[in-house]
Chains A and B, each alone.
Chain A
């Protein structure tokens, strides 16, 4: 496993990308070199627990965190300015693994499904993958659509769903995805997904029933970040019809869709 660090970094840039959404940049050569898509950082947000943020891009030695301001921790973070210090701990967890099928040239083979800020980790993954695929992206409204730049540059096929119909299809991304599959002659062969748990559960079910393999990245409250405290447990399947608890922070946050036993 890659080495992790706890260190103070200076914020290079901290900009509002949309009302309520911010992008934070800092540089750290070794952390940037080691970071893999799907891995996360625990940031000191003034709260008792650090807050986990997936890495949303790495360019050279610059690391970007794209996030939504939702609570006490992210509000504290959002008030930090360029030049302020930030204590980071990471990169933590196992990132996305390359698909066992390798990268197929046909864009219809590779599908990403993002819900909300789940787009952040998939954005970093898209940076690392040479071929484009299809991105299904669910957001509340058109004012919640972020992080598409990388996908556009790389000529991904983007399908937006918003809950209020302000952009793309109306409704949940899970429904849009399901409709796409039922109307498609060629099913994708591999999925990467990140977003809220109910969405990941539904997407996993849809993919398993259609014979699509893939990986999902879970969101969870994290205490230690290194698998020591066992606070962020997730039920996973073992062969003997039983289950074992794995940790989202160390064994995950990325899991094979067949591995997780959803509640």
Chain B
């Protein structure tokens, strides 16, 4: 289980990714392990214009996890193509998935147009659920069925890249959002993004962010399980994976591939350990 696989038309040597935002733009962890050992690489979310990110504090440890309020700090899509892609082009032999974010469908379409035809990119992940973008709306794109449909549809029309819709868990029925994602032309869904949460800074100012880590694993599993039984769409499972056993749980719940998230901060070599563990398990099966 978890070995050579085909996911949204991409041939992968294993089913293990690192989730968006965890390993930056690929270069950061390259001293520690060979990124080419992963099934594929997902970049940190890129937006149309550069974003400085949120003021401090940006992270806090919680019971069995963390809250992040980074605010999609990124250099913007133009600088991404110019400064960050060359490293990926030169060094990566595995599929590169670019995560993109934006406040509106128009913004996301503009980002996709700039990425169209760029070599080295294999697919696009639509971050429709980052809890850290302040906007006029009080909800994320993936919390509104119609908006999710319109947005994914608009992007589908302008690109041939396979699309993965990353969904927010903060909805009444995740299967409905997964279904409209499929109807709109998404090739897969990534389940789940972090949970909207908050903490207080030292001087008791509220900080809003996304909760991740082992604490969200049981909720992630349930949502993956429900979607896999109701909607015919490949699932990338994300949310608190911290061991080979967790990875097996995510496959059992219905994930085609998995992505390691913030648990990598505790164990930077976790994705490599999971790949090794899965390959042992595969042999035993």
The residues of A with any CB-CB pair to B shorter than 8 Å are 1, 3-6, 44, 47-50, 87, 89, 221, 223-234, 243-245, 250, 263
Total chain B interface residues with beta-carbon distance under 8 A = 33
Q: Do A229 and B266 touch across chains, with their CB atoms under 8 A apart?
A: no
The residues of B with any CB-CB pair to A shorter than 8 Å are 21-24, 28-29, 31-32, 44, 52-53, 56-62, 64-66, 68, 70, 73, 213-214, 262, 264-269
Beyond A224-B22, A233-B56, A245-B53, whether A44 also contacts B266 by CB under 8 A is yes
Beyond A223-B59, A229-B70, whether A50 also contacts B266 by CB under 8 A is yes
Nearest Cβ distance between residue A144 and chain B, in whole angstroms? 22
**Using Cβ atoms and an 8 Å threshold, which residues of chain B touch A87?**
267
Find A229's partner among B22, B65, B214, B269 (CB 8 Å cutoff): B22
Q: Do B73 and A224 touch across chains, with their CB atoms under 8 A apart?
A: no
Find B73's partner among A49, A225, A245, A250 (CB 8 Å cutoff): A245
**Using Cβ atoms and an 8 Å threshold, which residues of chain A touch B59?**
49, 221, 223, 229, 231-232
Name 10 extra pairs, CB < 8 A, besides A224-B23, A226-B29, A245-B53.
A4-B31, A6-B269, A48-B64, A48-B265, A221-B61, A226-B32, A228-B23, A229-B21, A229-B22, A231-B59
Q: Do A49 and B266 touch across chains, with their CB atoms under 8 A apart?
A: yes
**Using Cβ atoms and an 8 Å threshold, which residues of chain B touch A243?**
52
4 A-B pairs closest in CB distance:
A228-B24, A231-B59, A228-B28, A226-B28
Closest residue of A by beta carbon distance from B23: A228
Q: Do A229 and B53 touch across chains, with their CB atoms under 8 A apart?
A: no
Nearest Cβ distance between residue B30 and chain A, in whole angstroms? 9
Find A224's partner among B31, B265, B269 (CB 8 Å cutoff): B265
**Using Cβ atoms and an 8 Å threshold, which residues of chain A touch B23?**
224, 228
Q: Do A223 and B28 touch across chains, with their CB atoms under 8 A apart?
A: no
Beyond A47-B61, A221-B61, whether A5 also contacts B32 by CB under 8 A is yes
Q: Do A245 and B24 touch across chains, with their CB atoms under 8 A apart?
A: no
Q: Do B61 and A229 touch across chains, with their CB atoms under 8 A apart?
A: no
**Using Cβ atoms and an 8 Å threshold, which residues of chain A touch B213?**
48
